[in-house]
């Protein structure tokens, strides 16, 4: 139950905006005929060199590998990022900031 309360605290403020971003992921997945995961990982690969991907199934690994072949245009990337609202740090992450170590 405490996890649910924490998730509500962390995500409820941006839930409506997050839905709009998710809808854009869905649209691009349909455009490229790939999964939402592949869109998400292809976007992430434009930000970092080696993302850490958790997996419990072979299909998760296969999807991650396929995402490396998907190239998003600058327009696609901008479309995904345009409506994103950063989440405020919460929990241990919020406690582990420079201002809290002074």
Interval 28-44: pLDDT, tens: 999 999 999 999 999 99
Between 46 and 50, residue with greater pLDDT: 46
Is residue 68 a contact partner of residue 45, using CB atoms and an 8 Å limit? Answer: yes
- What phi-psi label fits residue 47: left (phi over 0), alpha (psi between -120 and 50 degrees) or beta? alpha
Query: What tokens appear for 47 in the block?
Result: 């930000």
Name the more confident of 33 and 17: 33
From CA 77, how far away is CA 72, in angstroms rounded?
6
Both tokens of 93, joined, read: 């992450």
pLDDT tens per residue, range 57-67? 999 999 999 99
- Show the tokens assigned to 9: 């605290």
Burial class (CB in 10 A: 0-12, 13-18, 19+), 45: middle
């Amino acid at each position: 139950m405490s996890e649910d309360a924490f998730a509500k605290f962390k995500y409820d403020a941006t839930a409506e905006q997050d839905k709009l971003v998710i809808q854009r992921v869905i649209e691009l997945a349909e455009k490229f005929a790939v999964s939402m995961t592949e869109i998400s990982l292809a976007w992430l690969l434009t930000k970092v060199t080696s993302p850490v991907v958790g997996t419990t199934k072979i299909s998760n690994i296969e999807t991650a590998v396929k995402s490396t072949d998907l190239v998003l245009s600058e327009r696609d990337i901008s479309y995904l990022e345009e409506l994103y609202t950063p989440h405020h740090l919460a929990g241990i992450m919020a406690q582990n900031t420079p201002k809290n170590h002074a």
